Structure 1
Amino acid sequence: MDKQNYQAINWNVLEDQIDKATWEKLTEQFWLDTRIPLSNDLSDWRSLTDKEKDVVDKVFGGLTLLDTLQSQDGMSSLKKDIRTQQEEAVLNNIEFMESVHAKSYSSIFSTLNTPKEISEIFDWTNQNEFLQYKAQKINDIYQNGQPLQKKAASVFLETFLFYSGFYTPLYWLGHNKLANVAEIIKLILRDESVHGTYIGYKFQLGFNELNEDQQGELTGWMYDLLYDLYENEEKYTHQLYDQVGWAEDVLTFLRYNANKALMNLGMDPLFPDTAEDVNPVVMNGISTSTSNHDFFSQVGNGYLLGNVEAMKDSDYDFKF
């Protein structure tokens, strides 16, 4: 039996120009947490109440878990169903950046928290029933779902489930606190916007190849999944935010982002919530340009590594 020749990837011959555009966008956005001067936020951190600190700690614990899921299982499951070689390269990039995201939260913890507090945060994260429910729900789809189901689950995670955690640093940024912590979150947001849009685009390519009955069945499955995830997210949000009175505002933010996830998948929005319904302080946190720090290396002679470019609202809505 003849062996099939192994194929070298050729970026000069593209089946899908979106692969190249996404690769270039992601590599242009490359960043590392070590370039952000997190210690400059310590005075702000000390001004927060114990309950406010507890919310920050726990939302970052939850975000760490979800980014771990994406880097360890999510992208590897999607790579089994690629359409082009270049798509796998893009997913490799996404996989690495999800690891960067997960590590970034540990950098925040090591700056703001004691070793004992860090241990408690991870114990809480690894045992919380609502966090574990959504992680296991998504991972079950990654391990056992059909290719398009995996893509839909990934978009729901990237564009919806992260946002119960993102609310907190954006809220404090809107109040001119924890600016460097928020700088990391805004860089993560910028990445996730490209990830969700790209994977949603690949989903739509496959969805459009289905017949009408198959499309109807998959659409029903997706909305059922979103309802289930939102019901769990309601419980998680109340558990986290009732102590500071933010739960209803966070849920509005979640519903708004659930609609954005559906739009990435080419689906109709589910909830009536729009950007105008979201707490304007949080929307202001998203739209505030980055601080343009001079980021220096933490090793060697501390040479200038470069500035993070000021971000616009449109940076969070990556379109092809």
Structure 2
Amino acid sequence: MENNYLAINWNQIEDAIDKATWEKLTEQFWLDTRIPLSNDLADWRTLTLDEQDVVAKVFGGLTLLDTLQSQDGVAVLKPAIRTQQEEAVLNNIQFMESVHAKSYSSIFSTLNTPKEIAEIFEWTNNNEILQYKAQRINEIYQTGTPLQKKVASVFLESFLFYSGFYTPLYWLGHNKLPNVAEIIKLILRDESVHGTYIGYKFQLGFQELPAEEQEMMKGWIYETLYDLYENEEKYSHLLYDKLGWTDDVLVFLRYNANKALMNLGLDPLFPDTAADVNPVVMNGISTSTSNHDFFSQVGNGYLLGNVEAMEDSDYDFDFK
């Protein structure tokens, strides 16, 4: 009967990438409660007030974006799924975006006072530059085509988060806030898979478009990316000018914007490469994981109890 409800059958896979992604995401499952953030308090107290302010605000911004992803960003992709397994993968992604958003609150509750936390969320929910990128992406989620929605998701996962990720990676490269950075590295690893997977699904649909529509879509993608990058420039100046980090942050952003385009199967827009990124930040990404959990001896990078070292290549999930 046409109206029968269909049970999902993981023994009959239509797209091997769905199964590979499910296995990748489930093997790297984690929770913020496994990371002893209080061990970073001594480092936190050595930061200047300006440095603390930047940390707080970037995590406020990241909380906003992960909230958008968990509440709207995945749900809008589901009507255009190609397989039942794809929906299962998206369910996993949606849950982990909620874990990411919660993780920042765990950081706040460790490092900040209740008054400071209230101020962080007040700033996050009302800053025009930060709100612009959230609203710009959400506008596409609510009114765009299925392919445009995938592009917006990849831009968020692979590009827009990185103006915030720069800060904890910078401090990790200077041997500070390692437990905070552990959470960020776990989030980075998730986002790498999310962006690559959704980019792959975009490419399947893009390849089915007539040549003329492909060119129109490319034009829209590059125009949207540049608009978002211009806003990220403003956001980076707002956050980082007082620390003198802005130029380095913008290089990092352009590098990751190119990676977002590559996830979509498109050519890079900017000349920046990994070699141009501040080596301290790249070192922060590639530093091996640590064991900080006193009870289970599990630190970041655990694969269901199995600790492994993470290198920069771990963030470039390759379906091939």
Same fold at TM > 0.5 = yes
Counterpart residue identity of residue 199, structure 1:
I
Aligned residue in 2 for 1:162: 161
1:242 partner SS: helix
The C-alpha deviation readout for 1:118-147, integer Å capped at 9, x for no partner, is: 000000000010111000110011111000
Counterpart residue identity of residue 76, structure 2:
S
Aligned residue in 2 for 1:94: 93
2:7 partner SS: coil
Counterpart residue identity of residue 88, structure 1:
E
Whether contact under 8 Å (1:289, 1:312) holds in the other structure is: yes
Distance 1:125 1:312 in 2: 32
Aligned residue in 2 for 1:140: 139
Whether contact under 8 Å (1:65, 1:125) holds in the other structure is: yes
Q: What is the TM-score normalised by the length of structure 2?
A: 0.96
Aligned residue in 1 for 2:261: 262
Percent identity (aligned): 83
Aligned residue in 2 for 1:253: 252
Aligned residue in 2 for 1:122: 121
Whether contact under 8 Å (2:54, 2:240) holds in the other structure is: yes
Whether contact under 8 Å (1:293, 1:308) holds in the other structure is: no
Distance 2:257 2:109 in 1: 32
Whether contact under 8 Å (2:36, 2:293) holds in the other structure is: no
Aligned residue in 2 for 1:35: 34
Aligned residue in 2 for 1:284: 283
Counterpart residue identity of residue 108, structure 2:
F
1:34 partner SS: helix
Whether contact under 8 Å (1:292, 1:307) holds in the other structure is: no
**1:208 is the counterpart of 2:212:** no
Aligned residue in 2 for 1:302: none
Could you list the runs of 5+ residues in structure 1 that have no partner in the other structure? 298-304
Aligned residue in 2 for 1:52: 51
User: Any runs of at least 4 consecutive aligned residues in structure 1 with deviations exceeding 4 A, and if so which?
Assistant: none
Counterpart residue identity of residue 53, structure 1:
Q
Aligned residue in 2 for 1:152: 151
Distance 2:215 2:236 in 1: 31
Aligned residue in 2 for 1:105: 104
**Offset, 1:294:** 3.1
Counterpart residue identity of residue 289, structure 1:
S
**1:232 is the counterpart of 2:239:** no
Whether contact under 8 Å (1:292, 1:309) holds in the other structure is: no
Number of positions where the alignment pairs a residue of Structure 1 with one of Structure 2: 312
**Offset, 1:4:** 1.1
Mapping of 1:170-189 within 5 angstroms? 170-189=169-188
**Offset, 1:290:** 1.1
The C-alpha deviation readout for 1:209-243, integer Å capped at 9, x for no partner, is: 11100100000000000010000000000000001
Aligned residue in 2 for 1:194: 193
Distance 1:112 1:180 in 2: 12
The C-alpha deviation readout for 1:2-49, integer Å capped at 9, x for no partner, is: 751111100000110000000000000000000000000000000000
Could you list the runs of 5+ residues in structure 2 that have no partner in the other structure? 297-303
Whether contact under 8 Å (1:35, 1:295) holds in the other structure is: no
Mapping of 1:15-30 within 5 angstroms? 15-30=14-29
Whether contact under 8 Å (1:67, 1:98) holds in the other structure is: yes
Q: What is the TM-score normalised by the length of structure 1?
A: 0.96
CA RMSD of aligned residues (A): 1.1
Distance 1:15 1:108 in 2: 40
Aligned residue in 1 for 2:217: 218
Distance 2:224 2:294 in 1: 41
Distance 1:296 1:126 in 2: 37
Distance 2:270 2:133 in 1: 20
**Offset, 1:75:** 0.2
Aligned residue in 1 for 2:301: none
Distance 1:92 1:197 in 2: 16
Aligned residue in 2 for 1:76: 75
